Structure 1
Amino acid sequence: MTARPWPWQKSERIRGCRPRPVTDAPAEIPDSKVGQLLALLENSGALELIALELADRPGPKGLPVRTVLVGVLLSLHYHRSATLADVCRVLLDQLRPPARAWLEVPDPATVDVHGRHAFTRRVYRAFDRLTTALDPHRCDRRRRLPKVEALQVIAAWEEEAGAEQVRRRRVLQEISDRLVLVTVHIAHQRGLFRGWRGDIGVDTTPFPAWHQPHPDWKDLSSVEITAGWHHCGGSSDGIFGHSATLVVAGSRRHPAGHPQAGKRVSRHPQLALGAVLDTPGKRIGPNAIHSLSRLVPFGFPTGFLAADRAYTDQQTENFAAPARRLGHRLALDYKQDQRGVQGTHEGALLVDGSLACPAMPHALAHATTGLGDEAVRDLANDPALQDQIAQREPYFLKVKESADLRGAIRYQCPAAGPSPAVACPRYNQVHRVPPQKPVVVDLTNPRSAQAHLSAKPTVPIPQAERLRPPPKEELPRICQRPTITVRPGDLGMIDKFRQDRHFLHPTWQDVYRPQRANIEGLNGRAKAHGIDISDPSKRLAHGRVAQTVLLALMICSVNLSILHSWHQTTGTLSALTSVGTDVTAYDHEARRPMPAGLPPPRTRMIQTNT
């Protein structure tokens, strides 16, 4: 029998070994942290929009909304919770006297039980005042409404709503954007995006609701009226709630996209660049485009935009076309029934999003037809499929001229030009190409040997066409002339499948897979044991307006955490602070950075006056 350690032999010693806090009183929050978050909130510009919406409301002003929002940020930072109950505890019990003066919070030593209850009601009323002013259709958010009334609320969140309802929705989204983008401003001013090539990953993730869905046996709606069922890819079980569209700063493995050029090295923090809350299945593409358009004033470069099959399935005018107008190149995935030959344009085949020679071998053109998702993910263990993907490369049309201001792209036949990729008897017949003069090829030089036309694959032309060539007018358009122009909308419905890297090719994998890993990494961080946006118990406020504001504050806190981890990992925080570029606090009058840790000027004025 093994002897137990000596502290376990007596209960008194066991109790003596237990760790105990120094005091039962809640820990105090430093004034510098309160001042930094308050300055962050004020410099986002969200408080200005809120003040405009609340300016004409009758009655007393009540507790400032900024106090509640700062309390939510503090609660997220220290307690990983966005519930108003935790916000009340933080404001009453954990602030020092200077911070309480800044936020107009009473001294807890002078407040009894009834005073605490009264302050709690002030916090709830201040948040309710904000959500009421921004709600397109005010209703009772604490009970199930009849479906007739619920349909009126749902209609206020649709495109066909009235002018005032649309305006409130835009103001709400603008406030949400400013709360998220203020952290992007910080990273941009610190120069943390200097190594970023503009690659972006976009995804829609479930945002579960605390309330239950509407009962089928009653003519009642859910308390969360605009919520619905979010179905993740590959899962048959839905999640009741809203959908959150997140945009993240991604990275490629290297600029050329070649697997032998080296492994991917992140040179920038992978921040969330945008967040939009909506009903599941509604406006998936437009929500992503909205977040992308908000990045234009920053002047960031535009690189590849990686999106999953939910965005590929969007109509062209809702996602692909506006994304290209913004300058982004697309890296897409397809559903199982969308892979392979997707259509034609002027005789050229659209094979997995890339235009190809109309005479591409059937086996290569249909190499991915009906290919399952597991086979795509396990491509590294399928040498036969890898070989077919590599053999496709010479048959794709070559880009002769990149997109102009109108978005038109010039493509060239792979057999045309001074360096043809294939040998095509049809091209030689139509364009009267003279036979190539004999040249001496150095077989010991692989580059010289591969450049010779005899080393190129030959386009398989039917034997009947070789014996009796048809008239030029009967050939596909790409065969009549060596170049074609693809303008926005020329491909019609199948234009949504077109992308800028050949599907499953190593260059596509070097773009798509890392960026998908970036977006899943952000989802994992946002749903970790800390700030968990997938836990509805951490955001119990009712209504879509409240959930939108809380999501924006959560993403803001996640970005601040990412920036803090980035500075700790790279060791750049001390260097940035030493040169005075820490912008976590601002001088609001001069709009210039202040040294880290100082409270905002408004709070210093309060101290001086008192």
Structure 2
Amino acid sequence: MTSRLDRQDHLDKLRTRRPPVPDTEVHEVLTALDASGLVAEVEPLVAQSTGRNRTLTVRALLLGMCLAAARNAGTVIFASVTNLLYFALTDETRERLKIPYYPDHAQGFEAAYGVVRRLFHRIEEAVDPSPLPKNHRLDRELVARLLGEADPDELASRRSLMLRVANRILSMSLLDAHPLLEGRWNGSAVLDATVIGTYAKGLSSDSPVTASDPDAGWYVRTTKHKDPLLTDTPAQERIKKRLYGYDACLVVARDPDHDGTPLPDGSANPDVVPSLVVAFSLDKPSHRPAEVALEALQHVDPRYPRGYLAGDRLYPDQKPDKFQLPIRAMGYQPVYDYAKDQLGVQAQFAGAELIEGNWYCPSMPQPLKDATKDLVAKKIDKQTWINRIRQRTTYLFLPKQRADAEGHRRMMCPAEANRTQCSLKPYTLGRGIHLPLIDPAPSPVGPPTACTQHTITIPPEAGAQLWQPLQYGTEEWQRVYFRLRNAIEGMNGFGKDPLYERLESGGTRRIRGIAAQAILLAFQLAHANKRKLATWAGSITLHGSHPHRRPTRRRKTKPLGTWTPEGYLTETTA
């Protein structure tokens, strides 16, 4: 039988031992905090002129949250924050940060933990864009009254603050990558709303009370994007996934001009920076998708260029003044795929016809106009579709010059561009039998403007909902669109890895409310960025030495030009 003293020794060995935090790590985190401007952004929000003096500074709290996120795969656990700040830092560091001493026992830990939690809640309350109390199931009549009494301007201001604070946290993960992005990224990005769970049980919409996280909502995944509150989902649209939480709209940077293929020696290409989250926004699922996407884009570092911007079929379905025109005003060029009801001729201007995002001659043969519609309807095979997409190029309107500052662009018809011959423009005839001859059908109102003038000026609002600069279906469109779409899907899977950040799990963010969720999610996204950068850097050959690890093995991929809206074409012909 062991003695009492022996038993105490064994129990002491089972206690959690706190490894000390190196001063060098503290210095690195504080340098990043100061460079991000996060402390300067948050401190005025919680400044107080009355009451007892606060014993923990905002800078120290954010330091503890960064240290905790680094040790818990991005998840900020406030028990860990307390342990690190009060019991793992060196005495000199604690004294420099003015962190008071608490004895290392139950009462001391609880006192320190209370200080940490109170300061965090003070921060999230200052930026909370919701007037609803959390952690309680609220009567829906009370919810309606609180929402009606709230000042919408104040709530909008708080939402702006919330997103600014959250994106400053995210930006800390890009400080070391900024020189790489600045020199090796053309500004292209991709948008996507990915669902994340919340630490609350969702209730049905006809429940008399709300969930304990009233800011969240139901995410319902069917074959099309729908409002999750709708109950008239057709039977054929089987519900694939249901989750109570939020939609995080991520902006992922990716240069579509490079495929990221490993070098001949098997190491990663140092000139191809991996896909990274550069900004994000948060809201209820399927709630204001266009506005939420624009909020995220507004937080992309202004030092970066603007290139192509891709998204799924949700975004071409938005109103032009809510999404398409604003992103073009920001400097982005949209790249879309289309739903069935968006195929074929969708708009006209001065005689030119908008077909799947591009302006074409109105006399283009009908089989070419309906190429994608016929493919989806299974009237033609995939190879025929590819051939017709290539033939469309002959009838494409081409830019005469770059768009002006207001987005207006001079365009010339294919006959003016020396791609066809047109009987309405006699000076284009006789150029050779290699150019198709266009013989427009007579019209009682006469030929359209595009057929009588050398050029036409197309304003930005003409066909704005579906317009895109790249010719739909071509190899260049496929390269840009699919690489950008693959980047966001890959980043979603990377961040939702159950061994690391587990973004989708509400258990990694156990404080209810959209403000707390946004701040805690920012630390997880920042950790995912850092992990991806470290993985990429570790697979690069530096100074002639072998990489620390091999790059991820890539499957053999199919060549561009053989993908269609219906899938991969197994046999291709020239």
Q: For the superposition of Structure 1 and Structure 2, which TM-score range results when normalised by the shorter chain? A: 0.7 to 0.9
| Alignment match, 1:273 | 278
Letter paired with 1:111? D
1:402-413 matched pairs, under 5 angstroms: 402-413=402-413
| Alignment match, 1:147 | 140
1:390-429 matched pairs, under 5 angstroms: 390-417=390-417, 420-423=418-421, 427-428=422-423
Letter paired with 1:507? E
Change (3 A) 1:141 1:113: same
1:159-174 matched pairs, under 5 angstroms: 161-174=151-164
1:363 to 360, 363, 367: 367
* CA distance in structure 1 between the partners assigned to 2:158 and 2:172 by the alignment: 21
Q: Does 1:32 align with 2:24?
A: yes
Q: How far did residue 183 of structure 1 move?
A: 3.4
Greater helix fraction, Structure 1 or Structure 2: 1
| Alignment match, 1:219 | 208
Contact 1:245 1:288 survives alignment (8 Å): yes
Contact 1:330 1:499 survives alignment (8 Å): yes
Letter paired with 1:33? E
* CA distance in structure 1 between the partners assigned to 2:219 and 2:336 by the alignment: 21
Contact 1:341 1:369 survives alignment (8 Å): no
Q: Does 1:59 align with 2:59?
A: no
Q: How far did residue 231 of structure 1 move?
A: 4.0
> Which shifted more, 111-120 or 97-106?
97-106
Provide the alpha-carbon RMSD of the alignment: 3.1
Change (3 A) 1:285 1:265: farther
| Alignment match, 1:515 | 484
Q: How far did residue 500 of structure 1 move?
A: 0.8
Work out which of the two has the higher radius of gyration on C-alpha atoms and give 1 or 2.
1
Identity of aligned residues (%): 27
Change (3 A) 1:47 1:570: same
Contact 2:55 2:100 survives alignment (8 Å): no
Cα deviations across residues 364-401 of structure 1 (Å, max 9, x unaligned)?
1111127559x9xxx9x932221121121111111111
* CA distance in structure 2 between the partners assigned to 1:484 and 1:522 by the alignment: 42
1:476 to 448, 454, 464: 448
* CA distance in structure 1 between the partners assigned to 2:282 and 2:109 by the alignment: 34
1:83 to 69, 77, 82: 77
Contact 2:258 2:272 survives alignment (8 Å): no
* CA distance in structure 2 between the partners assigned to 1:485 and 1:239 by the alignment: 48
TM-score, with length taken from structure 2: 0.80
1:344-383 matched pairs, under 5 angstroms: 344-369=348-373, 372=376, 382-383=382-383
1:249 to 241, 250, 253: 253
Contact 1:54 1:130 survives alignment (8 Å): yes
1:283 to 281, 288, 291: 288
Q: How far did residue 566 of structure 1 move?
A: 3.5
| Alignment match, 1:488 | 460
Q: Please list every run of 5 or more consecutive structure 1 residues that lacks an aligned counterpart in the other structure.
A: 1-20, 256-263, 437-451, 576-610
Letter paired with 1:567? A
Letter paired with 1:313? D
Q: Does 1:500 align with 2:469?
A: yes
* CA distance in structure 2 between the partners assigned to 1:147 and 1:370 by the alignment: 49
Q: How far did residue 571 of structure 1 move?
A: 5.3
* CA distance in structure 2 between the partners assigned to 1:347 and 1:517 by the alignment: 37
Q: Please list every run of 5 or more consecutive structure 2 residues that lacks an aligned counterpart in the other structure.
A: 1-12, 225-238, 260-268, 546-574
Contact 2:415 2:428 survives alignment (8 Å): no
* CA distance in structure 1 between the partners assigned to 2:211 and 2:167 by the alignment: 27
Change (3 A) 1:168 1:97: same
Change (3 A) 1:320 1:393: same
Contact 1:176 1:552 survives alignment (8 Å): yes
Q: How far did residue 416 of structure 1 move?
A: 1.6
Higher relative contact order (CA 8 A, sep 6+): 1
Q: Secondary structure at the match of 2:465?
A: helix
Contact 1:132 1:138 survives alignment (8 Å): no
Q: How far did residue 156 of structure 1 move?
A: 8.4
Q: How far did residue 307 of structure 1 move?
A: 1.6
* CA distance in structure 1 between the partners assigned to 2:161 and 2:543 by the alignment: 35
TM-score, with length taken from structure 1: 0.76
